[in-house]
Amino acid sequence: MTTCMTEKFDRLRKVYPEEMTSSLVLPLLQLMQEEKGHLTESDAVFIAEYLDVPKIQVKEALTWYSMLYRQSVGKHVVKVCRNIACSLNGAERVLEHIEKKLGIKAGETTSDEKFTLLTVECLASCGTAPMMQIDDTYYENLTEDSIDKVLEALS
Amino acid sequence: MELKINNQIVEAEAGELLLQVALRNGVDIPHFCYHSCLSIAGNCRICLVKVEGQPKLAPSCNLIVAEGMEVSTDCPEVQEARRDVMQFILNDHPVDCGICDKAGECRLQEYQVKYGEAEPLSLEDKHPKPKFYDLSPRIQLDSERCILCSRCVRFTQEISGSKQLGIVERGHSARVERMDQKPFDDPYSDNVISLCPVGALLSKDFMYQSRVWYLEPVKSVCTGCARACSIQVWRRKQEWRFNSFGDELNKKVYRITPLENEAINGPWLCNKGFDMHRTMSRERALTPMVGGVEVSADAMIKAARKLVSGAQNPAIIISAQASNEELKAAQAALTDKFTVYTRKDYGPSHGEVLEDDFMICLDKNPNGDGVYRIFGRNVIDNPLEHDLVVVWGDNLRHEDVAGARLICLGSFASGREKDREVFVPISTLFERSGTFTNFEGVDNRFEQVFEKPSSVLHAADFFRRLSE
Amino acid sequence: MSDQRIFMNFDVTADSHNLAAYRDRGGYQAFEKALREQTPDDIQAEVDASGLRGRGGAGFPTGMKWSFVNKQAPVVYLCCNADEGEPGTFKDRWIFEHNPHQLIEGILLASYALRVRHAFVYIRGEFDLPLRRLREALQEAYDANLVGENVLDTDFSSDIIVHRGAGAYVCGEESSLLTSLEGFKAYPRNKPPFPAVKGLYQKPTIINNVETLATVPWIMTHGGAEYAKIGTEWNSGTRIFGISGHVNNPGLFEKEAGYSLKEIIFEDAGGIRGGKSLKAVIPGGSSTPILKADEIDTITLDAENLQKHGSMVGSGGVIVIGEGTCMVRLLQVLTRFYAHESCGQCTPCREGSALMNAIISRIIAGKGRSEDVERLEKTTKGIMGKTVCALGDAAAMPVQSFITKFRDEFDYFVEHGRSINDGRLEI
């Protein structure tokens, strides 16, 4: 597993100028999270040792960025935007609907570990509000029906 | 170049920071995160000043001086900014002064009284954070008191190089932390206690021992290695000495802190230095002895004189823990028939850092250089063949002195005092004054902190009386 | 006003973002001409003449920013700020999805002008389709030898590296972006030194917004003077405005700077839904002071005019609020946002943004106290002008302007423990 990971690291490292090893902290954290789902301090140490940067630097980054998870998440992470344009267009109702549909509150994971529900800030989709992002994909102009369809398709 | 601070003309060099120039000219600009030996952080925002012609207040810790600059550090706008910033800093600060060791030497207290507003800005519940947390066995971290000035973090990044501390979490949840899986075992860790402007990082050794206003510092020197750093030894003030509870608390060293010395250690000290009082509080050997029997000082000197005059081929092993004054007294007392050996009497203990690029020297004695200047160097390389050996210092090695009669001078109990022909109990670092010469040839004077116990002698007195 | 378009000047189809389609529209001709016939200083001169201002929100003159770079410096970096995160803003996304090559050409022209060997696109980590389109476009550009070693067989070499963010609004701030790009938690930096002097890894660095860079090809095709003719005297060119909120027809509209705010809301965006009336507008992204309906009659969408009216053109994100909206609850959406996004470095923002959110949250929970509104105002004054970066001001300005313009709603909520208009945010 670790050799496979370091190979992936090596490939990503070549993208950046040689003197910019430190810049790889965030890309490597994201790469590891894609593989493992969430990250622990040991993962931060692994990356720090690979790049030869201070371990505390990677730990700080891991705790600071919203898209990095330190607790396990479900197979699909549902991120509902609650910022201003979405709120003006019914984000609260969207969230309520999803909470009811999945049977969990924002911040929680379903017991079958299929879905984690999170609230997030503006995703630059204000013209198509309300909206949500599940994993990588944006789902815009949400209605109760469209939400139901998406969630059912992913279950 | 010249510039104006509060309408007063001051001189400055190109590239200097306004804060530095102001402080040097007696203008007190408050600051938490700025430290002259650390990189500029500019996060506390208490040092904001008004620069003529600029619409926004500028942090003086990041303001490079310019010819003709006009700065005000006390106009109403600056005063109001300070009040605002103090309110934000205190926003979540627990009102711990009653139980916080930092009280009395706390910048937050000082600045609040001087610059702050009486009313708090917020009536919200305070945000709880990890409290009374053991950052290491030596240091307690209280994240509620922490104002996130990042001095401790920058110290481990830039000065000690251990890079063991950081600030994790975003925004309001930010707190100082180390790696979970690694203890904060930086050999210079305790400097963050001195650096911390508030009571967030506190010495566990000193915790709750005394209020600081009952204590006073005495200028001394660390004997942990050949750098001979300047330290402050804290004892109870004369007027606050206890009349009851016995004398132990009045003769106690409450803590050691670094004393800034530009020529030797800057404002820093290694952990061994911070522990000097522990080093000095090992069990003492307090009574003169002859042949294993406790005697008076006079009787002991008499016996020593007799041994010395009767010896054909005496030797002395000089201690590198001795002060220059004591070494000179010994030199004056010794006759030509003495062979003088020099030795680094203290070596590193198990687990101690041997040496590094920063401050720690391989030689674990403060006055090796002083010994060299006075006696030269004559290292013991085979077992000695002398009939009498005067062993000065605590670390006696048997293979050095087999077959000889011994006069031993020492401060700390080894359990072997009764095996010596003559044992001379001598005063410790805190019980005398003197000078060490460090490995770079810099002299550093230490002052007496306590009276020596009456049964103990100063080494200098012993040598003087020996030759009478 | 003319109907000049710089970005949205073609019909979007399934292939209109491809290299071939971009070339059909005249793409990369300006770049080729620059490489073969012009000098870096020529590019600088045209950008100076254009009066182009940054489109990220701060509106700093682009030519001036570029001129701060030491031309003799051995290493200069260029960063395209694609961390579009200002609430109400969704224009850079359009450029990635539908016109990525115009951005790439803009980056190449800027790289040529500034003698940059490595350019970075710092793109927010949440973007999905914009990232994929950008990567596809870059691959096309590399394949066509428009990027890489010896571009178009000249001495000029350029690499464009895509670097993803990981969820932090503050990374849209220049110096925070650099700290993030260097692999750290993204604390902004104290200035001076400015990035153009000491930026990425302490080298001179220019950071420009996506829309700003994507303007450069047009400027080089038609000339800076032509660009300056569009828009207003102090705010040249066109902008992509994003209209969102309670309108019938939300979306992106490219208009000349100086376009009427009223017109963009009621004509282009179709007015307020359900035939309701307008209550308020946030003209340039959530950090800009809010305007009441009766204030906007003469307001035009350009920097000078909006500043005169006590707000800012910002990022061009127009958020429209219809009648009946509870302004107190709406403000809490914003205070929650800024408290979440405050990086934590400096005291006023870290403490102040959390405090403002705490007070407003308590008010809307029905537990407001009589001194709350005053304390909020005092907090905003305490933050403004004292922080390391503009996020502190951005957090304080909405609170200040909402309270100033809708004081009665706040007072009501505090006194009665509930909203003056049933707490609704939708229309």
Mapped onto helix, strand or coil, the DSSP state of residue C20 is helix
Residues C98 and C220 in one domain: yes
Examine residue C182 and state whether it is found in any structural domain, yes or no. Answer: yes
Residue C357, pLDDT > 70, answer: yes
With an 8 Å Cβ cutoff, are C333 and A87 in contact? yes
Q: Pick one of 3.10.20.600, 3.30.70.20, 3.40.50.720, 3.90.45.10 as the CATH number of B124-203.
A: 3.30.70.20
Q: What is the CATH number of the domain that holds C126?
A: 3.40.50.11540
Query: What does the DSSP assignment read for C96-119?
Result: HHH-HHHHHHHHHHHHHHHT-SEE
Residues C263 and C131 in one domain: no
Examine residue C7 and state whether it is found in any structural domain, yes or no. Answer: no
Examine residue C3 and state whether it is found in any structural domain, yes or no. Answer: no
With an 8 Å Cβ cutoff, are C426 and A128 in contact? no
Residues C151-196: tens digit of each pLDDT? 999 999 999 999 999 999 999 999 999 999 999 999 999 999 999 9
Question: Going edge to edge, which strands form the sheet with A76-81?
Answer: A115-120, A76-81, A132-134, A137-139
Q: What is the CATH number of the domain that holds C309?
A: 3.10.20.600
Residues B68-108: tens digit of each pLDDT? 999 999 999 999 999 999 999 999 999 899 999 999 999 99
pLDDT of residue C3: 79
Q: Of B45, B123, B173, which is closest to C347 when you measure between CB atoms?
A: B45
Residue B199, pLDDT > 80, answer: yes
pLDDT mean over B37-61: 97
With an 8 Å Cβ cutoff, are C344 and B148 in contact? yes
With an 8 Å Cβ cutoff, are C350 and B148 in contact? yes
pLDDT mean over A31-45: 96
- Mutant choice from A63, A65, A121 vs B, greatest count of B C-beta within 10 A: A63
Q: Using an 8 Å Cβ cutoff, are B394 and B279 in contact?
A: no
Six token digits for residue B116:
């702050």
Domain ranges of chain B: 2-89, 124-203, 215-279, 289-466
Task: Give me chain C's average pLDDT, please.
Answer: 96
Which of C306, C322, C338 terminates a domain? The answer is C322
B326 touches chain A (CB under 8 A): no
Structurally, at CATH architecture level, domain A2-64 sits in: Orthogonal Bundle (1.10)
Which of C300, C322, C344 terminates a domain? The answer is C322
With an 8 Å Cβ cutoff, are C358 and B122 in contact? yes
Q: Using an 8 Å Cβ cutoff, are B49 and B74 in contact?
A: no
Q: Using an 8 Å Cβ cutoff, are C409 and C420 in contact?
A: yes
Which CATH number is B2-89 given? 3.10.20.740
Which of C322, C349, C373 terminates a domain? The answer is C322
Residues B260-273: tens digit of each pLDDT? 999 999 999 999 99
Q: Of B57, B84, B172, which is closest to C344 when you measure between CB atoms?
A: B172
Q: How confident is the model at residue C1 (pLDDT cuts 50, 70, 90)?
A: low
Is CATH 3.40.30.10 correct for A76-154?
yes
Six token digits for residue B298:
């006079």
Residues C89 and C39 in one domain: yes
At C130, give phi and psi (nearest 5°). -55, -40
Domain ranges of chain A: 2-64, 76-154
Structural domains of chain C, count: 3
CA distances to B103, B165, B333, C386 from C185, in Å: 33, 14, 66, 22
Q: Of A42, A56, A66, which is closest to B166 when you measure between CB atoms?
A: A56
Residues C176 and C35 in one domain: yes
Q: What is the CATH number of the domain that holds C383?
A: 1.20.1440.230
The per-residue b/e assignment along B91-123, b for 16 or more CB within 10 angstroms, e otherwise, is: bbbbebeeebbbbeebbbbebbeebbeeeebbe
With an 8 Å Cβ cutoff, are A60 and B163 in contact? no
Distance of alpha carbon C106 from alpha carbon C92, whole angstroms: 13
Residues C168 and C308 in one domain: no
Six token digits for residue A122:
């503006």
Residues C158 and C50 in one domain: yes
**Domain of C36?**
19-229
Q: State pTM to two decimals.
A: 0.95
CA distances to A129, C101, C135, C158 from C18, in Å: 28, 8, 12, 21
Element of type H or E holding C268: none
State which fold the B215-279 domain adopts: N-terminal domain of TfIIb (2.20.25)
Residues C355 and C368 in one domain: yes
Q: Using an 8 Å Cβ cutoff, are C345 and B153 in contact?
A: no
B143 touches chain A (CB under 8 A): no
CA C77 to chain centre: 21
State which fold the B289-466 domain adopts: Rossmann fold (3.40.50)
The C-alpha angle with vertex B461 and arms to B457 and B464, in degrees rounded to 5, equals 145
User: Within C198-346, where are the H helices?
Assistant: 210-222, 224-229, 261-263, 303-308, 327-341
Q: How many CB atoms lie within 10 A of CB C215?
A: 28
| Nearest CA among C252, C224, C263, C256 for reference residue C238 | C256
pLDDT mean over B49-59: 96
Query: Would strands C251-256 and C205-209 be described as parallel, antiparallel, or unpaired?
Result: unpaired
Residue B397, pLDDT > 90, answer: no
Residues C211 and C247 in one domain: no
Examine residue C392 and state whether it is found in any structural domain, yes or no. Answer: yes
The per-residue b/e assignment along A104-120, b for 16 or more CB within 10 angstroms, e otherwise, is: bebeebbeeeebbbbbb
